[in-house]
Amino acid sequence: MARQRILITGVSGLLGSNLALFLKDTFEIIGLYWQHPLIIEGASTVQCDLSEQQEARRIVSEIQPDVVIHCASLTNVDQCERETALCQQMNHLTTKHVVEAIRGTPTKLVYISTDAVYQGTKGDYSELDPVAPQNYYGLTKYFGERECERVSAALILRANFFGWNILSKESLAEWILHRLQRGEIVSGFYDAVFSSLYAVDVARVIEWALRADLQGIYNIGTHDSCSKYEFARLVATTFGFDPSQVIKHSLSEHTFLATRGHNLSLCVDKLEHALATPMPTIKDSIERFYKDYQRTDILRNSGTIRQPSKYLSYGRHTIDGDDIEAVTVALKSTHLTQGPRVKHFEEAISNVTESRYAVAVNSGTSALHLACRAAGIGPGDEVITSPNTFVASANCVVYCGGRPIFADIDPHTYNIAPAEIARKITQRTKAVIPVHFAGQSCDMESIAQIVKEAEAKYRHRIVIIEDACHVFGSRYKGTPVGSCRFSDMVVMSFHPVKHITTGEGGAVLTNDPVLDRMVRKLRSHGITNDPKEFVYLQQGFSGSGEGMVNPWYYEQQELGYNYRLTDIQCALGISQIAKLELFQTRRRAIVRQYQSAFQDLPCIQRPFESPDCESIFHLYVLGIDFEKIGRSRAECMVHLNNRGIQTQVHYIPVHTQPFYQQQFGTHWGDCPRAEEYYRRCLSIPLSPLMTDRDVGRVIDEITALVRSHI
């Protein structure tokens, strides 16, 4: 006998994926997704835009399902309030198109509605209680219910559920668990009550309802209810965390865009009576959620359900809901730029690096330029730096009229070699810019000693500016890189591929108050409104320099720049710094997997880790003997790219660039160790977003590529 064919819309969502996984052994499952493709072993998945009426009709006509379970929906309540047109399209229009596609056919319709159709004041809502949605999400889901009532024998389920997501979104329980795992405090609303059911239990109940041929409107939830505060404490206790990590918070104290009901608990008597079985309790549901976690939840790890091989970039930013909320709050504030978040971000940077001062700017390149200006670099000055870096590390010197001098690298760390610095220092050396490559600090103690001896020899100051754009969070000899323990200034970058991001952004760190004031002034057009720094006191003060400060007055004292960072970007940066430890832990875990996997692979050199450093890798760079494996680097990169793995080259030696060869007379052969490194280097994907499966895929592809040609 042929199995019943079930079409599940929104199969990449929380409930859709759980339904497909639960029902696939009993029914023939076809899942529809819109923007998030995935593969389910034992089921079929198809892309379809249900907002297009003809698409909905075509897919139903081709599949001819016995049952449609319509889960597709926009569920972010605040997004629905903000993007009403999209919400109307996703929650009402798509439902209308599904209904029109199956009307007049024997197809049964199951519509997943929401508890948000109720007002949310009294609680214990039954199906006979009036509908009174408090937000646009609930309203459009109710419109969907009305559409479904046009189908005979439709089953409408008003639900609230949690569970394991296949995508990067988080259900409430996942959000709570992830914060507990990071050691963060969880705010739970003591005045928000619900009856949320584990998604796998929802799938089980839907199967029972199909077998019982239920129709009409039913509430589906737990037998009991609790507040979200109590729910969070139950999750904490069940997973073995300290429930004191959960603190009480009032729903009325939170500035949500959309109104939420305070008590949306559901009465499920009608469903329990129809199925002759009790619904699970909240405690039962959380325990089942935990048991699936214990058995290495199949949704996330076993391969039964997965997304198709995604494209793995060599590096990318990691943004979550907290970051988005922080930026949204900034956008709604009275300051978009030059406001309080800039100062807070600078303080957060100083806390991480243990520097006395931090000046936030709009890019790492701007930070380098300002540091060189503050150091007084000008025409005729020489500045020693590494050839193994991005061009900005040298360009900043040229911006000031100076001349970059390239000192070769250490063949193990790929950082500038202290002995090469000593060899290149002359009377004309004004500064040294060591570049910490890929996450590992240069040997700053040796560099500082070499500079100190040169200062004594040439009888003038030589400024040390650390280019630390790759190492935010790394440590050297027990001290955070950025503390300025061995330098005058340190420069950071917050580009999207770095350890944290502000979109674009950077910072200059120093312990010197004079340098701090100079960098701040240059950041903003060379202007100051600090009365203590005024040159023309009679113009700055009322009363010959001894009276009240003229409130409009400012002075441009230097030729500066507009290198400021906005409050919007700083809001993102503050949120990102709060997760820095989490990012570091994940990066280190990935590097450990890579180091172990590649240790015995012929023709490959793994990154060296100095015992003086605790490196939070920004890049993971392999040294590959391309000649021995019988493929050029370009061929390898194209092959891996075709397999969904992006690689990159960091870096083409700066002294070989046409600009430097033509303007400063540099040549191939000037830095042979950097040039040899360049011929072999290949950066492979490294990002906190990568799963263990992603890492394994990279390892397998590179191993296969190398072994197949030796």
φ, ψ dihedrals at 337, nearest 5° = -150, 155
Given a contact cutoff of 8 angstroms between Cβ atoms, the answer to whether 102 and 150 are in contact is no
Same domain, residue pair 352 and 425: yes
Asked if 547 and 500 sit in the same domain, the reply is no
According to DSSP, the β-strands at 216-220 and 155-159 are: parallel
Cβ-proximal residues to 85 (8 Å cutoff; 6+ apart), any chain: none
**What six digits make up the tokens of 603?**
């023709």
Same-domain check for residues 512 and 647:
no
pLDDT digits (tens, 9 = 90+) for 271-281: 999 999 999 99
Contact 526, 402 (CB under 8 A): no
β-strands 613-614, 475-476: how paired?
A: antiparallel
Residue located via tokens 């972010």: 76
- 119 and 263 in a single domain? The answer is yes
Return the CATH number at 445. 3.40.640.10
**What pLDDT score does 302 carry?**
41
Tokens of 672: 């042979």
d(CA 539, CA 470): 45
Q: Which helix (H) or strand (E) holds 542?
A: none
Residue 297 has pLDDT above 70, yes or no: no
Helix segments in 150-254, DSSP class H: 172-181, 199-211, 228-238
Q: Is 588 a residue whose pLDDT tops 60?
A: yes
Which candidate, 228, 220, 351, 357, places its Cα nearest to that of 278? 220
Mean pLDDT, residues 425-445: 98
Contact 413, 440 (CB under 8 A): yes
pLDDT of residue 10: 94
Mean pLDDT on 528-544: 88
Is 315 contained in some domain?
Answer: no
Do 234 and 365 belong to one domain? no
329 shares a domain with 252: no
Identity at 450, one-letter amino acid code: I
Query: Which amino acid is it at 235?
Result: V
What is the CA angle 338-339-343, rounded to 5?
A: 95
Query: Could you tell me if 296 and 215 lie in one domain?
Result: yes
* Cα–Cα distance, 408 to 415 (Å, whole number): 8
Three-class secondary structure of residue 439 per DSSP: coil
For position 311, what pLDDT does the model report? Answer: 80
Does residue 223 surpass a pLDDT of 60? Answer: yes
Answer whether residue 313 is part of any domain: no
Q: For residue 161, what are the β-bridge partners?
A: 197
Q: Mean pLDDT of all residues in the chain? A: 93
C-beta of residue 445 within 8 angstroms of C-beta of residue 707: no
Q: Are residues 290 and 420 in the same domain?
A: no
Tokens of 511: 């312990």
Kindly state the helix (H) or strand (E) to which residue 641 belongs, with its residue range.
Answer: helix 633-642
8 A C-beta contact, residue 218 and residue 157? yes
State yes or no: pLDDT of 300 exceeds 80. Answer: no
Evaluate whether residue 311 is within a structural domain: no
Q: Is residue 238 part of a domain?
A: yes
pLDDT at 296: 46
Q: Are 286 and 337 part of one and the same domain?
A: no
Domain for residue 312, yes or no?
Answer: no
pLDDT tens for 84-125 read 999 999 999 999 999 999 998 999 999 999 999 999 999 999
d(CA 576, CA 318): 9
Does a structural domain hold residue 314? no
pLDDT(496) > 60: yes
Q: Is 253 exposed, middle or buried (0-12, 13-18, 19+ CB in 10 A)?
A: exposed
CA nearest neighbour of 539 among 529, 263, 339, 279: 529
Q: Give 233's contacts (C-beta < 8 A, 6+ positions apart).
A: 188, 243, 246
Cα–Cα distance, 32 to 55 (Å, whole number): 11
* Residues across the chain: 710
**Number of structural domains found in the chain:** 4
Q: What is the pLDDT of residues 593-645, one digit of tens each?
A: 999 999 989 899 999 999 999 999 999 999 999 999 998 999 999 889 878 89
Among left, alpha and beta (phi > 0; psi -120 to 50; other), residue 42 is left
The pTM (predicted TM-score) of the whole model is 0.62
Distances (CA, A) of 582 to 179, 184, 373, 578, 674: 11, 11, 35, 9, 33
| Residues 190 and 131 placed together within one structural domain of the fold | yes
Q: How confident is the model at residue 462 (pLDDT cuts 50, 70, 90)?
A: very high
| Tokens 């312990």, located at residue | 511
Considering the domain architecture, whether residues 229 and 255 belong to the same structural domain is answered as yes
Q: How far apart are CA 254 and CA 194, in angstroms?
A: 18
63 lies in which domain range?
A: 5-306
Show which of 280, 306, 332 is a domain's final residue.
306
Question: Distance from CA of residue 505 to its chain's centroid?
Answer: 16
Q: Which residues are catalytic?
A: 498
Does residue 303 have a pLDDT over 90? no
Phi, psi of 211 (to 5 degrees): -70, -30
